[in-house]
Structure 1
Amino acid sequence: MSSHDPESHLDQPLQRGSSSRRFLLYRTFVSSRRRQAREGQIYMTYRGTTRSMKRSRSAGELFRIFLSMLGRRRWTITVALGLLTVGTVLGLLPPAATKLVIDYAFTDTALPPSLGRWLPDAWNPDGDPRRLLLIIACVLVVVAFASVLCSLCSRWQATKASRIIAVSVRKRVFEHAVRLPLDRVGELRSGGVASLLREDAGGIADLVFGLLYNPWRAVIQLVGIFIILAFTDWRLLLGAFCILPMVWYTHRIWINRIRPLYRDIRVQRSNIDAHATEVFSGMRVVRAFGRSRTESGRFTSGNHMLARQEIHAWWWSRITETIWALAIPLASAGLLFYGGLQVLDGVITVGDLVMFLTYLLLLLGPIETLASSATSFQTNLAGLDRVMDLLEEQRELPDPADAVSLDRAAIAGRLEVDGVSFSYPSSSQPVLSGVSFHA
């Protein structure tokens, strides 16, 4: 990025001039931002500004630091992950019911002994397809309720732990920041201590989901689906693997290219609303200085810029949707054709094919989750690194390790200050020199 390029689409070069000129500068900024993000140098905040992703600690070290920050909440998160595992496994069972319905209930075929021995004697369908359908429906209802209950309890435990961690980390950062040297406090104030507390410290709590909860659920789903598909037909599974790179790539395009554009749109819309509010709140001043036409033109130019940004994001969204609209049906048609041949040859049953295609669609969800988590937890790890840098800074007048607490009622004495001098770090001229007094 050259010295003349804006570092944020909130900078002045992108807020003045005609909408066409501003949009050209905006596209230059987006290209530069994307290049730096690809090189791992920056990421974009929710307000559209960019922040550094460079870390002074390794990912493994940051992960250990994060685990140490969990403290007493480790057990809560462990319970949440255990409940999540049970709920996720139960959620993978309903699609398998399609095979039982198609291959046994619809064809009036008796259940194989390997499945029949799991049913109590009172539930034995005895070759009655209606009775078998009723049993399958009842089991699905019970499994669905159990899965939802486990997932809800798990989510509640993880959410509660993450909010407690957020409060704890923000409190720790705030208490440390207010005891830093005054010149450092001034730097933090000008650099945005609110951003450090809100985005970086808050992002550490989000690691509960971005680093643990969501990836764990996605991995359980992937492993479970792969096992089921492998037992169904390993040849079909190999064909399904061809879809996975396309799913990963298109979702990464959405994360890295399209989602930042929508963030920019949201910020631009907020700027337009803020400008309109400011103009109407100071309407007397606007009219007194004859600025009505100027402010109207600025408002119109901002809306033109917003329209250009929305059209730009619309085109990129349509490209991604077109890829999905073409690739997924083509891949499904290929698998359906090959699977149909396998059915005709008697290698697999119709129920196996329907179950395979159902699980194949379920496979897309965890892949999207992993692709999204791969980006979110990297940005949050960078925030954790910056928070640790701040916490490792030396406090002003830190308490010594052997400090003694004094009881005012049990002591007597006086305070003596002898030859105290003070100067700011950026200046060699002392502000105070040779101050002495007794109290």
Structure 2
Amino acid sequence: MDTIRRILELLGGYKWLTALSFVLAFAQMGLGLVVPRVIQLTINNALLGGRPGLLVTYGLALLGVAAVRFAVGVGRRLASGKVSLAIEYDLRNRMWAHLLRQPFAYFDRWPTGQLMSRAMSDIQNVRMFLGYGLVFFVTNIVMMAAIAVILVIMDWRLALLSLTFLPFLLLVTLRFSRRLNPILKDVQQRIADVTATAEENVVGSRIVRIFAREDDELARFSDRSYRVFEASVAAARTRAVYIPLIAFIPNLAVAFLLYYGGRQVVDGGLSLGALVAFYSYLMMLVSPARVIGWLTGLAQRAIASGERVYEILDAPLEMHEKPDARPLRGVGPAKGTTSAPETGADLSSSPLGAVDFDGVWFSYGDRPVLRGVTLSLPAGRTVALVGHTGCGKTTLTNLVPRFYDPGEGSVRVDGQDVRDLQLADLRRHIGVVTQDPFLFSTSIAENIRFGKPDASEEEVRAAARTAQADDFIEALPDAYETVVGERGFTLSGGQRQRIAIARALVMDPRILILDDATSSVDAETESRIRTALREVMRGRTTFIIAHRPSTISLAEEVVVLDRGRIEEQGSHERLMAAGGLYAQMFGDAERHGCCLDDAGDDETTDAAGAAVGGVA
């Protein structure tokens, strides 16, 4: 009952349109109730009364009623449709707004297909009920009651005999609802599973083909589809039994009416016109009775879908922005300095980019990844994070823009705990480039401008030149207006990576996070990008998640992580001289020509990074 109450509350923002829908629906119903009475008068007065001239009058009356019903019906459908579509629009936007405020950890637990199914088909089921089912349900109930009253007024004995089917009809309908509801809920869940599987296969289509797993994936998809088929057959079987029964019960009343009513006409106790009108009203009563089964199923689907929608909307925001959260502000310039020496700009409130990790612990579920990490980076410092797969490199950097919150300890930027800062403002000062960047299905210029929507054309081009992307972009047919296709797969990995670097640079961030941003480019381009990045990183706090030895040359300091703890820290030369873990990893990588971590990246398999796609 709580779900249906919450679904009905969605109409609250459209009270007048909803009221208009009901008024027009009742008007349409009332006009329909006039028709049998006109038929009765036509038979008794025009045909049996010997006044054929009245046929034109009554015919025109019926035509007029039909015309008005048509106009009212059009208005009702327009009003109902506008309400339902507006609610669908609002509900879907509410869901996406809620999802966009959830942290990465939330999406680690939810398959994309499940979320898509709830945002599309489930919300559509709610819309169908509110736009059509609710109005039909209420007007049909009122119509059945009104017809019952009319029948009693016309002939109470015949009415009682004809209406004995109603209690049985209600009993069967309620039983039908109780049996169908859990089946429909199961169908919706299985459809979501199919959607999730289909989404995975579309996104991972290249991997499926590379490993020749088409048959296996088809079998997996077929299995999920068959489970939907089984549940849908169970629902169809239930409908097959109950809906014909719901339609059959009123026909018993019609049989009684024709027998006993016909005898009354023969005996002179009832006019032929009254019997025809009585029959017409009874048929009008049968029609809502037949529709009740469909409306009940529609309502049950809406309830099942509503529960799935509100499961998303009711999920607590695991990462809250405090009511008194403030923008990121600098701690002021160095002692004795009031402005930037190059430009003379006031530095008293500009973020500088100093980052401090103080006793940071973090776990994915019950699996600890960071264990008491303490690390301080002065503003403008460049550090390379090195370690084996799963040591916590990406996780550590994900805490800076607050993609995740630490379980214990704190992360501070310019001395301010990131949990006390406005999220949007914090992330405006942090540029992120992931190892496997994500591009949107739009133009290259729009992808670069995603980091700064108001960036000028010159700013976009300048960022692209710094990222060594301008040459290949200009060589494309439409240059910067070239549409890259879904996820940017029309470009090479190196091209996507350079666009992602440009996207981060156009923000002019105080903090840069580079997850081996040159891993997908050739040696010549890598050298050019490294040269450009040296200039870009000057004055910015930069984290480099280093997978290859060549990347470390960009860093002033190396931090070696092992099993979630800082194992070593210092310059490349000092750590090599120490002969510890770093020296061993670096030597192995140089000898075998492999990555420092022997794998690529750490514990999240870049799920988080792929979601960000190189944008802060």
Please report the TM-score for the alignment, with normalisation by the length of structure 2: 0.46
Partner of 1:157: 79
Partner of 1:93: 34
Question: Does the 8 Å contact 1:80/1:157 carry over to 2?
Answer: yes
Rounded Cα–Cα distance in structure 2 between residues aligned with 1:350 and 1:141:
23
Question: Does the 8 Å contact 1:210/1:377 carry over to 2?
Answer: no
2:126 pairs with 1:204 = yes
1:175-324, aligned counterparts within 5 Å?
175-189=97-111, 192-209=114-131, 212-244=134-166
2:340 pairs with 1:418 = no
Please state how far the C-alpha of 1:386 moved relative to its aligned partner.
Answer: 3.5
Question: Does the 8 Å contact 2:98/2:313 carry over to 1?
Answer: yes
Q: Letter of the aligned partner of 1:369 in structure 2? A: V
CA pair 138-438 structure 1, distance change in 2 beyond 3 A: farther
Question: Does the 8 Å contact 1:248/1:371 carry over to 2?
Answer: no
2:116 pairs with 1:170 = no
Stretches of structure 1 lacking an aligned partner (at least 5 in a row):
1-57, 110-128, 279-284
Rounded Cα–Cα distance in structure 2 between residues aligned with 1:130 and 1:341:
27
CA pair 135-392 structure 1, distance change in 2 beyond 3 A: same
What RMSD, in angstroms, separates the aligned Cα atoms of the two structures?
A: 4.6
Q: Secondary structure at the match of 1:395?
A: coil
CA pair 253-320 structure 1, distance change in 2 beyond 3 A: farther
1:310-349, aligned counterparts within 5 Å?
331-349=253-271
Question: Does the 8 Å contact 1:170/1:202 carry over to 2?
Answer: no
Question: Does the 8 Å contact 1:229/1:356 carry over to 2?
Answer: yes
Partner of 2:48: 107
Q: Secondary structure at the match of 1:399?
A: coil
Please state how far the C-alpha of 1:251 moved relative to its aligned partner.
Answer: 7.0
Rounded Cα–Cα distance in structure 2 between residues aligned with 1:319 and 1:69:
31
CA pair 131-401 structure 1, distance change in 2 beyond 3 A: farther
Higher mean Cα deviation, 214-223 or 147-156? 214-223
Please state how far the C-alpha of 1:394 moved relative to its aligned partner.
Answer: 2.7
Aligned length: 333
CA pair 171-315 structure 1, distance change in 2 beyond 3 A: closer
CA pair 321-75 structure 1, distance change in 2 beyond 3 A: closer
Partner of 1:437: 377
Stretches of structure 2 lacking an aligned partner (at least 5 in a row):
203-208, 331-344, 380-616
Q: Letter of the aligned partner of 2:41 in structure 1? A: L
Tell me which of 259, 265, 282 is aligned to 1:360. Answer: 282
Rounded Cα–Cα distance in structure 1 between residues aligned with 2:369 and 2:274:
84
CA pair 367-423 structure 1, distance change in 2 beyond 3 A: same
Please state how far the C-alpha of 1:205 moved relative to its aligned partner.
Answer: 2.1
Question: Does the 8 Å contact 2:84/2:128 carry over to 1?
Answer: yes
2:351 pairs with 1:351 = no
Q: Secondary structure at the match of 2:101?
A: coil
Please state how far the C-alpha of 1:239 moved relative to its aligned partner.
Answer: 1.5
Question: Does the 8 Å contact 1:89/1:220 carry over to 2?
Answer: no
Please state how far the C-alpha of 1:315 moved relative to its aligned partner.
Answer: 13
CA pair 350-184 structure 1, distance change in 2 beyond 3 A: same
Question: Does the 8 Å contact 1:203/1:383 carry over to 2?
Answer: yes
Question: Does the 8 Å contact 1:247/1:364 carry over to 2?
Answer: no
Question: Does the 8 Å contact 2:24/2:72 carry over to 1?
Answer: yes
Please state how far the C-alpha of 1:393 moved relative to its aligned partner.
Answer: 2.5
Rounded Cα–Cα distance in structure 1 between residues aligned with 2:21 and 2:246:
37
Rounded Cα–Cα distance in structure 1 between residues aligned with 2:253 and 2:4:
40
Question: Does the 8 Å contact 1:210/1:373 carry over to 2?
Answer: no
1:350-429, aligned counterparts within 5 Å?
350-403=272-325, 412-414=349-351, 415-419=353-357, 421=360, 423-429=362-368
Q: Letter of the aligned partner of 1:144 in structure 2? A: A
CA pair 68-358 structure 1, distance change in 2 beyond 3 A: closer
Q: Letter of the aligned partner of 1:348 in structure 2? A: L
Partner of 2:450: none
CA pair 233-213 structure 1, distance change in 2 beyond 3 A: same
CA pair 403-79 structure 1, distance change in 2 beyond 3 A: farther
Higher strand share: 2
Cα deviation code 1:347-385 (max 9, x no counterpart): 321111111111111111112233332332233224323
Cα deviation code 1:120-161 (max 9, x no counterpart): xxxxxxxxx233111111111111110111111111111121
CA pair 106-176 structure 1, distance change in 2 beyond 3 A: same
Q: Letter of the aligned partner of 1:97 in structure 2? A: V
Higher mean Cα deviation, 82-91 or 224-233? 224-233
CA pair 320-367 structure 1, distance change in 2 beyond 3 A: closer
Rounded Cα–Cα distance in structure 1 between residues aligned with 2:21 and 2:106:
40
Please state how far the C-alpha of 1:249 moved relative to its aligned partner.
Answer: 7.0
Please state how far the C-alpha of 1:392 moved relative to its aligned partner.
Answer: 2.9
Please state how far the C-alpha of 1:321 moved relative to its aligned partner.
Answer: 5.7
Rg comparison, structure with higher value: 2
Please state how far the C-alpha of 1:330 moved relative to its aligned partner.
Answer: 5.4
Question: Does the 8 Å contact 1:88/1:220 carry over to 2?
Answer: no
Q: Letter of the aligned partner of 2:298 in structure 1? A: S
Please state how far the C-alpha of 1:200 moved relative to its aligned partner.
Answer: 2.8
Q: Which has the higher contact order (CA 8 A, sep 6+)?
A: 1
Tell me which of 116, 121, 138 is aligned to 2:60. Answer: 138
Q: Letter of the aligned partner of 1:102 in structure 2? A: I
Q: Secondary structure at the match of 2:53?
A: helix
Rounded Cα–Cα distance in structure 2 between residues aligned with 1:407 and 1:159:
49
Rounded Cα–Cα distance in structure 2 between residues aligned with 1:321 and 1:392:
39
Question: Does the 8 Å contact 2:246/2:289 carry over to 1?
Answer: no
Partner of 1:281: none
Percent of pairs with identical residues: 24
Q: Secondary structure at the match of 2:69?
A: helix
Tell me which of 6, 15, 19 is aligned to 1:78. Answer: 19
Q: Letter of the aligned partner of 2:67 in structure 1? A: F
Question: Does the 8 Å contact 1:422/1:430 carry over to 2?
Answer: yes
CA pair 204-405 structure 1, distance change in 2 beyond 3 A: farther
Higher helix share: 1
CA pair 438-78 structure 1, distance change in 2 beyond 3 A: farther
Q: Letter of the aligned partner of 2:75 in structure 1? A: C
Cα deviation code 1:25-69 (max 9, x no counterpart): xxxxxxxxxxxxxxxxxxxxxxxxxxxxxxxxx43x741x33443
Cα deviation code 1:215-267 (max 9, x no counterpart): 1221232122112211111111112123345656777898868xx89x99xx9
Q: Letter of the aligned partner of 1:429 in structure 2? A: P
Please state how far the C-alpha of 1:186 moved relative to its aligned partner.
Answer: 2.1
Rounded Cα–Cα distance in structure 1 between residues aligned with 2:91 and 2:157:
50
Rounded Cα–Cα distance in structure 2 between residues aligned with 1:392 and 1:316:
32
Higher mean Cα deviation, 94-103 or 332-341? 332-341
